[in-house]
Protein backbone atom coordinates (compact mmCIF):
# COMPACT_ATOMS: atom_id res chain seq x y z
CA UNK A 1 0.00 0.00 0.00
CA UNK A 2 1.27 3.48 -0.85
CA UNK A 3 1.85 5.94 1.99
CA UNK A 4 -1.42 7.14 3.57
CA UNK A 5 -0.07 10.71 3.62
CA UNK A 6 0.26 10.54 -0.14
CA UNK A 7 -3.41 9.58 -0.28
CA UNK A 8 -4.27 12.64 1.80
CA UNK A 9 -2.26 14.75 -0.65
CA UNK A 10 -4.35 13.32 -3.51
CA UNK A 11 -7.53 14.13 -1.59
CA UNK A 12 -6.33 17.62 -0.71
CA UNK A 13 -7.40 17.00 2.87
CA UNK A 14 -5.34 16.32 6.00
CA UNK A 15 -7.09 14.00 8.47
CA UNK A 16 -7.02 14.69 12.18
CA UNK A 17 -7.84 11.01 12.71
CA UNK A 18 -5.86 9.07 10.11
CA UNK A 19 -7.41 5.79 11.28
CA UNK A 20 -10.65 6.85 9.57
CA UNK A 21 -8.93 7.04 6.20
CA UNK A 22 -7.12 3.75 6.84
CA UNK A 23 -10.42 2.02 7.52
CA UNK A 24 -11.99 3.59 4.42
CA UNK A 25 -9.23 2.02 2.35
CA UNK A 26 -9.52 -1.44 3.95
CA UNK A 27 -11.40 -3.93 1.78
CA UNK A 28 -13.27 -6.79 3.45
CA UNK A 29 -10.92 -9.33 1.83
CA UNK A 30 -7.98 -7.83 3.73
CA UNK A 31 -9.87 -7.63 7.03
CA UNK A 32 -10.86 -11.30 6.77
CA UNK A 33 -7.33 -12.34 5.84
CA UNK A 34 -5.94 -10.45 8.83
CA UNK A 35 -8.62 -11.86 11.15
CA UNK A 36 -9.93 -8.35 11.81
CA UNK A 37 -13.63 -8.88 11.26
CA UNK A 38 -15.55 -5.63 11.17
CA UNK A 39 -12.42 -3.56 10.47
CA UNK A 40 -13.27 -3.10 6.80
CA UNK A 41 -14.79 -0.11 4.99
CA UNK A 42 -18.35 -1.43 4.59
CA UNK A 43 -19.92 0.65 7.38
CA UNK A 44 -18.21 3.77 6.04
CA UNK A 45 -19.44 2.88 2.56
CA UNK A 46 -23.00 2.80 3.94
CA UNK A 47 -22.63 6.25 5.46
CA UNK A 48 -20.84 7.64 2.40
CA UNK A 49 -23.67 6.52 0.16
CA UNK A 50 -26.14 8.54 2.25
CA UNK A 51 -23.87 11.62 2.39
CA UNK A 52 -23.33 11.45 -1.37
CA UNK A 53 -27.05 11.15 -2.11
CA UNK A 54 -27.81 14.12 0.13
CA UNK A 55 -25.16 16.40 -1.40
CA UNK A 56 -25.93 15.49 -5.00
CA UNK A 57 -29.69 15.74 -4.43
CA UNK A 58 -29.37 19.19 -2.88
CA UNK A 59 -27.14 20.39 -5.72
CA UNK A 60 -29.54 19.17 -8.41
CA UNK A 61 -32.56 20.58 -6.56
CA UNK A 62 -30.95 24.03 -6.48
CA UNK A 63 -29.38 23.89 -9.95
CA UNK A 64 -32.50 22.73 -11.84
CA UNK A 65 -35.55 24.49 -10.35
CA UNK A 66 -37.84 23.50 -13.22
CA UNK A 67 -36.81 19.85 -13.48
CA UNK A 68 -39.39 17.27 -12.44
CA UNK A 69 -38.77 14.58 -9.81
CA UNK A 70 -38.30 11.74 -12.29
CA UNK A 71 -35.70 13.61 -14.32
CA UNK A 72 -33.88 14.70 -11.15
CA UNK A 73 -33.78 11.08 -9.98
CA UNK A 74 -32.38 9.84 -13.27
CA UNK A 75 -29.77 12.58 -13.35
CA UNK A 76 -28.72 11.81 -9.79
CA UNK A 77 -28.50 8.10 -10.63
CA UNK A 78 -26.19 8.87 -13.54
CA UNK A 79 -23.91 10.95 -11.32
CA UNK A 80 -23.67 8.41 -8.49
CA UNK A 81 -23.70 5.15 -10.45
CA UNK A 82 -20.89 2.64 -10.05
CA UNK A 83 -19.19 3.74 -13.26
CA UNK A 84 -19.18 7.41 -12.28
CA UNK A 85 -17.88 6.73 -8.77
CA UNK A 86 -15.18 4.35 -9.99
CA UNK A 87 -14.08 7.09 -12.41
CA UNK A 88 -13.87 9.50 -9.48
CA UNK A 89 -11.82 6.95 -7.53
CA UNK A 90 -9.45 6.55 -10.47
CA UNK A 91 -8.92 10.30 -10.70
CA UNK A 92 -7.92 10.20 -7.04
CA UNK A 93 -5.81 7.07 -7.67
CA UNK A 94 -7.53 5.37 -4.74
CA UNK A 95 -6.70 1.95 -6.16
CA UNK A 96 -3.04 2.43 -5.26
CA UNK A 97 -3.88 2.95 -1.61
CA UNK A 98 -6.33 0.10 -1.01
CA UNK A 99 -5.63 -2.70 1.45
CA UNK A 100 -6.70 -5.89 -0.34
CA UNK A 101 -6.50 -9.57 0.47
CA UNK A 102 -4.08 -11.66 -1.59
CA UNK A 103 -6.83 -13.28 -3.63
CA UNK A 104 -8.48 -9.97 -4.49
CA UNK A 105 -5.08 -8.52 -5.36
CA UNK A 106 -4.39 -11.36 -7.77
CA UNK A 107 -7.82 -10.91 -9.35
CA UNK A 108 -7.13 -7.28 -10.21
CA UNK A 109 -9.17 -5.83 -7.37
CA UNK A 110 -7.46 -2.44 -7.59
CA UNK A 111 -9.15 -1.89 -10.95
CA UNK A 112 -12.60 -3.36 -10.22
CA UNK A 113 -15.34 -0.77 -10.57
CA UNK A 114 -17.29 -2.23 -7.65
CA UNK A 115 -14.34 -2.02 -5.25
CA UNK A 116 -13.30 1.46 -6.42
CA UNK A 117 -16.80 2.91 -6.21
CA UNK A 118 -17.28 1.47 -2.71
CA UNK A 119 -13.91 2.90 -1.68
CA UNK A 120 -14.88 6.35 -2.92
CA UNK A 121 -18.05 6.29 -0.81
CA UNK A 122 -16.09 5.07 2.22
CA UNK A 123 -13.46 7.79 1.80
CA UNK A 124 -16.21 10.39 1.43
CA UNK A 125 -17.70 9.21 4.73
CA UNK A 126 -14.29 9.38 6.39
CA UNK A 127 -13.82 12.96 5.18
CA UNK A 128 -17.32 13.83 6.41
CA UNK A 129 -16.72 12.36 9.87
CA UNK A 130 -13.31 13.99 10.23
CA UNK A 131 -13.89 17.36 8.58
CA UNK A 132 -17.63 17.90 8.33
CA UNK A 133 -20.11 18.45 5.53
CA UNK A 134 -18.17 21.32 3.91
CA UNK A 135 -15.13 19.11 3.27
CA UNK A 136 -17.36 16.31 1.97
CA UNK A 137 -19.03 18.82 -0.35
CA UNK A 138 -15.64 19.90 -1.69
CA UNK A 139 -14.80 16.29 -2.56
CA UNK A 140 -18.17 15.74 -4.24
CA UNK A 141 -17.89 19.00 -6.17
CA UNK A 142 -14.43 18.16 -7.45
CA UNK A 143 -14.92 14.51 -8.38
CA UNK A 144 -18.64 13.79 -8.81
CA UNK A 145 -20.57 16.91 -9.79
CA UNK A 146 -17.87 17.84 -12.29
CA UNK A 147 -19.28 15.03 -14.47
CA UNK A 148 -22.62 16.83 -14.81
CA UNK A 149 -21.35 18.55 -17.95
CA UNK A 150 -20.47 15.22 -19.61
CA UNK A 151 -23.55 14.55 -21.79
CA UNK A 152 -23.09 10.79 -22.12
CA UNK A 153 -22.63 10.44 -18.36
CA UNK A 154 -25.57 12.51 -17.21
CA UNK A 155 -28.25 11.87 -19.78
CA UNK A 156 -31.63 11.70 -18.02
CA UNK A 157 -32.28 8.53 -20.05
CA UNK A 158 -31.03 5.26 -18.61
CA UNK A 159 -27.92 3.88 -20.32
CA UNK A 160 -29.71 0.96 -21.97
CA UNK A 161 -32.23 3.27 -23.61
CA UNK A 162 -29.54 5.74 -24.64
CA UNK A 163 -27.41 2.98 -26.20
CA UNK A 164 -30.37 1.51 -28.06
CA UNK A 165 -31.16 4.92 -29.53
CA UNK A 166 -27.54 5.44 -30.58
CA UNK A 167 -27.33 2.06 -32.31
CA UNK A 168 -30.68 2.45 -34.05
CA UNK A 169 -30.00 5.94 -35.37
CA UNK A 170 -28.62 4.50 -38.61
CA UNK A 171 -29.05 0.75 -38.16
CA UNK A 172 -32.59 0.07 -36.99
CA UNK A 173 -32.33 -3.66 -37.71
CA UNK A 174 -29.36 -4.36 -35.44
CA UNK A 175 -30.01 -6.80 -32.59
CA UNK A 176 -28.99 -5.76 -29.06
CA UNK A 177 -28.79 -8.49 -26.44
CA UNK A 178 -27.67 -8.56 -22.79
CA UNK A 179 -26.09 -11.70 -21.33
CA UNK A 180 -25.14 -12.67 -17.78
CA UNK A 181 -21.41 -13.38 -17.62
CA UNK A 182 -21.08 -14.24 -13.93
CA UNK A 183 -22.57 -13.89 -10.46
CA UNK A 184 -20.30 -14.05 -7.43
CA UNK A 185 -20.20 -13.24 -3.73
CA UNK A 186 -22.44 -14.08 -0.76
CA UNK A 187 -26.20 -13.68 -1.03
CA UNK A 188 -26.21 -10.40 0.90
CA UNK A 189 -23.53 -8.84 -1.34
CA UNK A 190 -23.84 -10.38 -4.80
CA UNK A 191 -21.93 -8.95 -7.73
CA UNK A 192 -23.24 -9.58 -11.23
CA UNK A 193 -21.38 -9.09 -14.49
CA UNK A 194 -23.31 -8.55 -17.72
CA UNK A 195 -22.25 -7.94 -21.28
CA UNK A 196 -24.07 -6.28 -24.15
CA UNK A 197 -23.81 -7.63 -27.67
CA UNK A 198 -24.77 -5.99 -30.94
CA UNK A 199 -25.39 -8.53 -33.72
CA UNK A 200 -23.41 -11.02 -31.64
CA UNK A 201 -20.39 -8.73 -31.11
CA UNK A 202 -19.52 -7.72 -27.56
CA UNK A 203 -19.65 -3.94 -27.07
CA UNK A 204 -19.47 -3.54 -23.32
CA UNK A 205 -19.12 -5.36 -20.01
CA UNK A 206 -20.25 -4.07 -16.62
CA UNK A 207 -20.69 -5.15 -13.02
CA UNK A 208 -23.14 -4.21 -10.28
CA UNK A 209 -25.13 -5.42 -7.27
CA UNK A 210 -28.01 -6.53 -9.53
CA UNK A 211 -28.42 -7.76 -13.11
CA UNK A 212 -30.13 -4.49 -13.95
CA UNK A 213 -27.28 -2.38 -12.55
CA UNK A 214 -24.69 -4.55 -14.31
CA UNK A 215 -26.59 -4.22 -17.58
CA UNK A 216 -26.70 -0.45 -17.20
CA UNK A 217 -22.93 -0.41 -16.57
CA UNK A 218 -22.35 -2.54 -19.67
CA UNK A 219 -24.52 -0.18 -21.73
CA UNK A 220 -22.56 2.83 -20.43
CA UNK A 221 -19.30 1.22 -21.55
CA UNK A 222 -20.88 0.51 -24.93
CA UNK A 223 -21.96 4.17 -25.24
CA UNK A 224 -18.39 5.28 -24.57
CA UNK A 225 -17.11 2.86 -27.21
CA UNK A 226 -19.69 4.09 -29.70
CA UNK A 227 -18.73 7.71 -29.00
CA UNK A 228 -15.03 6.98 -29.39
CA UNK A 229 -15.64 5.24 -32.72
CA UNK A 230 -17.74 8.15 -33.93
CA UNK A 231 -14.97 10.66 -33.18
CA UNK A 232 -12.09 8.59 -34.65
Indicate the pairing of strand 191-198 with strand 176-184: antiparallel
Cβ neighbors of 159 (< 8 A, separation 6 or more) are: 216, 217, 219, 220, 223
Paired residues of 212 in beta bridges:
none
Nearest to 211 by CA among 179, 189, 164, 177: 179
- The DSSP 8-state label assigned to residue 26 in this structure reads B
3-state secondary structure (DSSP) of residue 192: strand
Nearest to 11 by CA among 144, 98, 138: 138
Question: Are the C-beta atoms of 44 and 113 separated by less than 8 Å?
Answer: no
Element (H, E) at 156: none
3-state secondary structure (DSSP) of residue 100: coil
Nearest to 40 by CA among 98, 110, 127: 98
Question: Of the residues 45, 49, 82, 87, which is catalytic?
Answer: 49
Measured CA to CA in angstroms, residue 117 lies from 67, 89, 176, 196, 202 at distances of 27, 7, 27, 21, 24
Question: Are the C-beta atoms of 130 and 14 separated by less than 8 Å?
Answer: no
Question: Of the residues 40, 45, 87, 121, which is catalytic?
Answer: 121
Active site residue 121: yes
Q: Which residues are catalytic?
A: 49, 121
Amino acid sequence: MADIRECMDRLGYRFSDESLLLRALTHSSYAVEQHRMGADNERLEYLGDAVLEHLVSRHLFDAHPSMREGALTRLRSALVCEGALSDAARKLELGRFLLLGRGEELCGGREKNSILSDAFEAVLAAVYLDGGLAEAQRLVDGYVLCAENEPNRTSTKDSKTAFQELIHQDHKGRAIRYELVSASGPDHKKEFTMRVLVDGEEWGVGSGPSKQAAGQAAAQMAIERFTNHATD
